[in-house]
Amino acid sequence: MKWSIDIKGTLSPVSILGAFFDKPNTIAYPQVKKETAKGYRGFHTNVLSDCIGCSNCQDVCMNDAIDMIKTDMEYNAKNASQCIPRIDYGRCCWCSLCTDVCPPDSLKLDEEYMNVSKYASDFIYIPKNQ
Amino acid sequence: MIKMETPKHITIFHGPQHPGITGNMSVELDLIGETIQKATTHVGYLHRGFEKLIERRTVIQAFTIVCRICVPEPDPNEANFAMAVEELAGIKITERAKYIRVMVLELSRLSAQFLWMAGQSGSIGLYAVGQWAIADRDLILDLFEELTGGRVYHMYVYPGGVRRDLPNGFLDKVTDLLIYLKERMNLYNDIFINNASFKNRAIGVGIIDKEEAVANGYVGQVLRGCGIKADVRKDAPYLIYDELNFEIPTQKAGDVYARALVRRDEILQSINILEQVVSKMPKGDIMIKMPTHRKFKLPKDDTWVKVESARGEFAYYMAGDGTEKIRRMQVKGPSLIHGFTLLEDLLIGAELSDVALIMNSLGICPPEIER
């Protein structure tokens, strides 16, 4: 077998040493938090004074993650069904179709996305009123 | 497992947990020493059945599923789905939507190529390259996050246009990223493509014959690495690809190194395309008004559409039956033919240490096989 040395190919990877003087790509999480982009698809929010309880969101959800429930919160007077959406985050895929089809534009996605809980029942989530 | 009747043989499973495997699949290898005598691909660890799921959902609901057919590169699926629906329904999208779609497709191609670079370099132990490629890919994902609201699954290209308009200053950010990535490519050339250790491992390994590649219907870098200039963007242009100037890189050797060179050149071509798209981006609407948006009905007809993904031709067959649901949708990606016929053939006679190297060079994505 003939041996030959690829001098360029052997020396060129040495340029990797220059990376010692570069700024690191990583951030010191959790001390430094990465800012979420505006319009990120995180948790749902629902403006209860606007929600009309039409259940369009429930209808369009391909994962059957939304059901309409009665709560003791104060609703919009025009909310005919007196129900508001509740999301099962075990099923939700954050496609945002529910917010697209919302006629009064009350259901939205917030930039907040962290949810830590030891109870599976906490995945069933009533969107915050805001 | 040592076979007692032929004690020289040993059978091992490469995957599905092996870091050198591309996704959730495994290859059963029959070895004598380090040399592979027989390779059998096993899939079924994923089994998500996208095609059947889509048949039970309306058009608007099905659109959120298609991006999951390929995790590293979801956008060709979204574009294919949207193009199929538009062709069946006779919808024409706006010029701006076409430009934005091309931008998204090329960014997605870039992100997939960087992921490939990470996998390919990792498969031979050059981990620094992999970590840098993943970090650079993350910058592309940051742009996706801003544009679409999601980093991996974008759910952005929608029948009738795209879902959101470009945020303020987005094109400047794309331009800055392209300048950065161009500089980084010089570095990747030095530490990966021209690296003697990669060359020694990749040259002459996994050689594919030109005639065989055409006869068996291989696509993407596998075909272009054998010297065949085949690319859907040139052969059957869609969106605005016929208005853009770009080259189809090819190599003649047909080995792993040739495919790596093709991919490296494709990254540069994608940057070139993106520069043109950014400079020519027209103003206007991003979405046309869709009739009966939620209960959109597909006419009784069928169609076949295809786009060029980062791994080769990606085609969809779609049939409507006049209802809100899609009668049948079939996905034809490069992974089925590359993951079974080609991989099983190429591995015979190869060394055990080359399995991950060869696999990564073929662009195999198991969700696409188990569609």
ipTM of the complex: 0.91
User: What kind of architecture, by CATH, is found in domain B50-369?
Assistant: Orthogonal Bundle (1.10)
Which tokens in the block code for residue B107? Answer: 């960014």
Report the C-alpha gap between B230 and A24 in whole angstroms. 40
**Packed helices B170-188 and B256-280: angle between N→C axes, nearest 10 degrees:** 160
Strand partners, B315: B306, B332
Cβ pair B36, B29 in contact under 8 A: yes
Average pLDDT, chain A: 88
B162-191 average pLDDT score: 94
Amino acid identity at B266: E
User: How many helices and strands (H and E) does chain A possess?
Assistant: 3, 5
* Predicted pLDDT at B237: 93
Q: For B39-95, what is each residue's pLDDT tens digit?
A: 999 988 877 788 888 998 888 888 888 988 888 889 999 999 999 999 998 889 999
With cut-offs at 50, 70 and 90, classify the pLDDT of residue B348. very high
DSSP H or E stretch at residue B329: strand B326-332
In degrees and rounded to multiples of 5, residue B152 shows phi and psi of -105, -55
- B142, B191, B200 member nearest A13 (Cβ): B191
Is B61 in contact with A97 (Cβ distance < 8 A)?
A: yes
Mean predicted lDDT score pLDDT of chain B: 90
Whether the Cβ atoms of residue A87 and residue A94 lie closer than 8 Å to each other? no
The pLDDT assigned to B313 comes to 92
Binned at pLDDT 50, 70 and 90, residue B292 comes out as: low
User: What is the pLDDT confidence band of residue B365, given thresholds at 50, 70 and 90?
Assistant: confident
Tell me, yes or no, whether A66 lies in a domain.
Answer: yes
The position carrying tokens 């490519």 is: B185
> Tokens in use for A50?
């606007």
pLDDT band (50, 70, 90) for residue B3:
low
Q: In the prediction, which pLDDT does B291 show?
A: 66
Number of domains in chain A: 1
Residue B251, classed as helix, strand or coil, is coil
Residue type at B24 in one-letter notation: N
Share of chain B above pLDDT 90, in %: 68
Q: Is the pLDDT of residue A1 over 60?
A: no
Q: What pLDDT is attached to residue B304?
A: 95
Q: Is A16 on the interface with B (CB under 8 A)?
A: yes
Q: For residue A57, which of A87, A78, A77, A81 has the smallest C-alpha distance?
A: A87
Q: Is the dihedral of CA A45, A48, A50, A56 positive or negative?
A: positive
Closest to A109 (Cα-Cα) out of A120, A100, A119, A118: A100
User: What per-residue confidence (pLDDT) applies to B23?
Assistant: 76
Q: Would residue A5 count as lying in a domain?
A: no
Read off the DSSP letter of residue A76: P
Residue A14 lies in a domain: no
Give the domain extent around A111: 44-125
Q: What is the CATH number of the domain that holds A90?
A: 3.30.70.3270
Which long-range CB contacts under 8 A does A30-35 form with residues at least 24 apart?
Answer: none
Phi, psi of B93 (to 5 degrees): -95, 165
CA distance B261 to chain A (A): 15
Q: What are the tokens at A119?
A: 């109870």
Q: How many residues does chain B have?
A: 371
Q: What pLDDT score does B363 carry?
A: 85
Residue type for A106, please? Answer: S
Tell me how far apart the alpha carbons of residues B201 and A3 are, in angstroms, rounded to a whole number.
Answer: 15
**Helix, strand, coil percentages for chain A (3-state, nearest 5):** 20, 15, 65
Task: Provide the pLDDT for residue B114.
Answer: 95
Q: Which two tokens stand for residue B132?
A: 């840098």
pLDDT band at B2 (very low <50, low <70, confident <90, very high): low
Q: What pLDDT, on a 0 to 100 scale, did the predictor assign at position A18?
A: 85
pLDDT tens column, A68-87: 999 888 888 888 888 999 99
Q: Mean pLDDT, to the nearest integer, of B133-148?
A: 94
3-state per-residue secondary structure call for B182-230: HHHHHHHHHHHHCCHHHHHHHCCCCCCCHHHHHHHCCCCHHHHCCCCCC
State which H helix or E strand residue A68 sits in: strand A66-69
Count of CB pairs separated by less than 8 Å, A with B: 72
- CB-based contact B153 A93, cutoff 8 Å: yes
Spatial distance between the Cα atoms of B221 and B229, rounded to a whole number of angstroms: 10
What is the C-alpha separation between B342 and B37, in angstroms, rounded? 15
A46 and A106 Cβ atoms separated by less than 8 Å: yes
Question: Do B197 and A13 make contact, defined as CB atoms within 8 angstroms?
Answer: yes
Is a pLDDT exceeding 70 seen at residue B274?
A: yes
Decide: pTM greater than 0.90.
yes
**Res. A2 pLDDT band, cuts 50 70 90:** low
Q: Which residues of B touch A64 (CB under 8 A)?
A: none
Measured between CB atoms, which of A25, A39, A40 is closest to B135? A25
d(CA B209, CA B254): 7
Q: Is the peptide bond before A30 cis (omega within 30 degrees of 0)?
A: yes
Beta bridge partners of A125: A87
Q: What mean pLDDT do residues A110-130 have?
A: 87
Q: So what's the pLDDT on residue B56? A: 87
- Tell me if A11 is assigned to some domain: no
Q: Do A39 and B164 touch (CB under 8 A)?
A: yes
- Of B371, B327, B308, the C-alpha closest to B88 is B327
pLDDT higher than 80, residue A90: yes
8 Å CB contact between B156 and B163: yes
Does A34 map to a domain?
Answer: no
Residue A86 covered by a domain:
yes
β partners of residue B306: B315
In-domain check, residue A23: no
Q: Which helix (H) or strand (E) holds A85?
A: strand A84-88
State residue A76's pLDDT score: 82
Percent of chain B at pLDDT exceeding 70: 97
pLDDT in tens, B182-197: 999 999 999 999 999 9
Least confident of B43-47, B106-110, B315-319: B43-47
Instruction: Tell me the chain A residues in contact with residue B142 when contact means C-beta distances shorter than 8 Å.
Output: 37
Q: Which sequence spans correspond to the domains of chain B?
A: 50-369
Q: Is the pLDDT of residue B4 over 70?
A: no
